[in-house]
């Protein structure tokens, strides 16, 4: 049963230099057309209104770039198709500076109980270099407004490995972020993605990231600082007070099913991954006409499910449990990967006990190499 839904709102007031998500400059008419198409898509999959869901996540882009009328329309669509009273976690992404107190009150009135905010760094010069519109003071104002209006489950995103960022500078960012004592923090290293401004600069030799050893030191410092303040690492890039782990994101890492609605959104339903069209005109046209704005559907067989169980599950600090794996796939993890597990233990990239396997701290630095070890040549037989 699918108990999670992701909804993509692709509009932004400004396009950040590093972002490769599906996004468009905000335009009122475009946003109106988009919401009509989005509702048609949701209605095609959710036949009976008031579908119970455990988690809803509205991401972007910047969902709160919608004006008040459009934001109310979006929330009304969600409220009609999903039983909000059953939702444990209802998250909206927001950029500091674009979420007014009126918008906060509106979100709260429709049951939104969690905000994920892209602070990125506590350094105004670096924010300018990243192409961000907000400044440090906006984070303080928005966090205060959110708490004042009844939304205290707030997550802040941070970035490291940025051009001109030093280890001392990142430490200052961590310290300032932790001074809010929020229940959840995420932090990601900068990836130079195609079709971004940073990618163009990088190819011209005009953008330089910190050396790998400095980036690794930033990550190790992040883990240390977070744990000192009681924010426990529960996934490679995520830290939380006990009980405030992101329930929606754990759906992904637990390799469970979820709907994905909107331009460029991905959904995962039994035996298939659905990838939506990204271009605005193509998405709106196809969604409006058919309700299925699908770029392509990728079959997910047992072999792929097993591989993804390892790739995703090992992102969690709790790792992959032997009994859960065997219940899902009717075969033991150790019988499929005996040689690979031995090699990874020898490299000290994983640790193993009677319950399961998990990455070591060293293994977190070599995650891609670890994940590659679990690629299968063929589907394993049932035991």
Average pLDDT across each block of 10 residues of the chain; the chain has 383 residues. List them in order.
93 72 86 98 96 97 95 98 97 93 97 96 91 91 97 97 94 98 95 74 77 93 97 97 97 97 97 96 97 96 95 96 96 95 96 96 90 89 65
Distance (Å, whole) CA 115 – CA 359: 29
Q: Which residues of 306-335 are buried (b: 16+ CB within 10 A; e: fewer)?
A: bbbbbbbbbbbbebbebebbeeebebebee
Contacts of 112 (CB under 8 A, 6+ apart): 75, 90, 91, 92, 151
Half-sphere exposure of 41 (CA within 13 A, CB side): 29
Across the beta sheet with 184-189, what order do the strands follow? 232-235, 238-240, 184-189, 154-160, 114-120, 89-94, 55-60, 4-9, 259-261
Q: What is the pLDDT of residues 202-238, one digit of tens each?
A: 678 777 788 999 999 999 999 999 999 999 999 999 9
DSSP string, 24-41: EE--HHHHHHHHHHHHHH
Residues in a beta bridge with 114: 91
* Residues constituting the chain: 383
Q: Which two tokens stand for residue 119?
A: 């602070």
C-alpha 243/C-alpha 5 separation (Å) is: 21
Put residue 313 in one of left, alpha, beta given phi > 0 → left and psi -120 to 50 → alpha.
alpha
Tens digit of pLDDT for each residue in 150-200? 999 999 999 999 998 999 999 999 999 999 999 999 999 887 777 777 768
List the one residue out of 297, 276, 253 whose CA is nearest residue 42.
276
pTM: 0.94
For 353, the 3-state DSSP assignment is coil
List, in order, residues 6 or more apart from 34 with CB less than 8 Å away: 9, 10, 11, 263, 280, 283, 284
Neighbouring CB atoms inside 10 A of 141's CB total 14
Q: Determine the Cα–Cα distance for residues 177 and 239; give it in Å rounded to an integer.
A: 12
Question: Where in the sequence of the chain do the CATH 3.80.30.20 domains occur?
Answer: 4-253
pLDDT given at position 133: 84
Choosing among 3.40.50.1000, 3.30.70.1400, 3.40.50.300, 3.80.30.20, the CATH entry for 4-253 is 3.80.30.20
CA atoms within 13 A on the CB side of 377: 1
């Amino acid at each position: 049963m699918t108990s999670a839904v992701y909804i993509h709102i692709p509009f932004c007031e400004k396009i950040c230099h590093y972002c490769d998500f599906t996004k468009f400059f905000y335009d009122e008419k475009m946003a109106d057309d988009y919401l009509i198409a989005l509702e048609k898509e949701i209605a095609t999959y959710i036949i009976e209104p008031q579908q119970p869901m455990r988690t809803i996540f509205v991401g972007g882009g910047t969902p709160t770039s919608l004006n008040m009328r459009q934001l109310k329309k979006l929330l009304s669509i969600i409220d009609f198709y999903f039983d909000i009273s059953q939702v444990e976690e209802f998250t909206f992404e927001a950029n500091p500076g674009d979420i007014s107190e009126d918008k906060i009150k509106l979100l709260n009135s429709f049951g939104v109980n969690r905000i994920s905010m892209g602070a990125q760094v506590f350094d105004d010069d670096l924010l300018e270099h990243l192409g961000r519109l907000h400044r440090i003071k906006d984070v303080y104002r928005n966090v205060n407004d959110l708490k004042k209006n009844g939304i205290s489950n707030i997550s802040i995103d941070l970035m490291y490995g940025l051009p001109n960022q030093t280890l001392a500078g990142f430490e200052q960012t961590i310290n300032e972020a932790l001074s809010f004592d929020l229940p959840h923090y995420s932090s990601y290293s900068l990836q130079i993605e195609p079709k971004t401004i940073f990618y163009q600069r990088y190819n011209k030799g005009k953008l330089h990231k910190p050396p790998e050893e400095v980036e690794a030191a930033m990550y190790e410092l992040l883990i240390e600082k977070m744990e000192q303040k009681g924010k426990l690492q529960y996934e490679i890039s995520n830290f939380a007070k006990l009980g405030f782990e992101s329930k929606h994101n754990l759906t992904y890492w637990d390799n469970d099913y979820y709907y994905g609605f909107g331009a460029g959104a991905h959904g995962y339903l039994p035996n298939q991954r659905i990838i939506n069209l990204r271009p605005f005109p193509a998405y709106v046209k196809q969604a409006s006409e058919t309700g299925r704005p699908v770029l392509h559907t990728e079959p997910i067989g047992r072999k792929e499910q097993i591989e993804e169980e390892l790739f995703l599950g090992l992102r969690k600090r709790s790792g992959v449990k032997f009994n859960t794996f065997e219940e899902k796939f009717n075969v033991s993890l150790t019988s499929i990967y005996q040689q690979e597990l031995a090699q990874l233990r020898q490299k000290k990239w994983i640790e193993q006990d009677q319950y399961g396997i998990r990455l070591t701290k060293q293994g977190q630095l070599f995650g891609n190499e670890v994940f590659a070890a679990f690629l299968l040549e063929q589907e394993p037989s049932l035991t």
